[in-house]
Structure 1
Amino acid sequence: MEPGLRFHADVLTDKAGSMGDTTHLAIALRAGVRESTISRLLSGRTVPSLATLVALADAYNCSLDDLVLGRVRALPPRPALAQARTAASI
């Protein structure tokens, strides 16, 4: 990541908690990523890929800015991304 940019695990855990996702497994299942990836991200042992950031942002209806700059704002639902993700997993 560029200097000044970092993954804000606190934003993810706050967003996840507000949706009832309090475990690494729950976050992983909602975002469609491996539980081990979530564990490494939340412990600071790895830097997320762009694909992982997009999956997390989509799953928790937040922006990439929220996750890498720590800005938190409400976004309208993104049904097109959710539908595309569902269609791709079928």
Structure 2
Amino acid sequence: MTTAPRLSVDVLTEKARALGDHTKLAIAQRTGVQESTISRLMALRTRPSLDTLHAIAKAYETTMDELITTDGAPVASVPAQRDEAA
């Protein structure tokens, strides 16, 4: 049984602290994501939307793949499929 992908709190915390962001408020201000959302994400009470994940990744100059984990291990990157008919 696999666990649904979730935010890697350890990675976010490490990236945030490297830039001097030691509080959820500081992370929220840097990312533009509401502090309550950051709090729920870090408490693992919710999973990030793609928009939220993108905002966090951009703010901390990392990839969305690096910010996602499942069962404590990073999730493998899956290339996007392209519609050849378009």
Q: 1:45 to 1:3 in 2, by over 3 A?
A: closer
- For 1:48-67, list aligned pairs within 5 A: 48-67=48-67
TM-score by length of structure 1 reads: 0.71
Identity of aligned residues (%): 53
State the Cα deviation string for residues 40-66 of structure 1 (Å, max 9, x = none).
Answer: 000111111000000000000000111
2:56 is paired with a residue of what secondary structure? helix
Structure 2 partner of 1:30: 30
Structure 1 partner of 2:18: 18
2:66 is paired with a residue of what secondary structure? helix
Superposition deviation, residue 7 in structure 1: 1.5
Structure-2 separation of matches of 1:39 and 1:58: 19
Q: Which has the higher strand share?
A: 2
Q: 1:6 to 1:29 in 2, by over 3 A?
A: same
Q: Select the structure with the greater relative contact order (CA < 8 A; seq sep ≥ 6).
A: 2
Aligned residues: 70
- For 1:71-86, list aligned pairs within 5 A: none
**Structure having the higher Rg:** 2
Q: Which has the higher helix share?
A: 1
Runs of 4+ in 1 over 6 A off after TM superposition: none
Instruction: For structure 1, list consecutive stretches of 5 or more residues without a partner in the other structure.
Output: 72-90
Structure-2 separation of matches of 1:9 and 1:66: 11
Q: CA RMSD in A?
A: 1.7
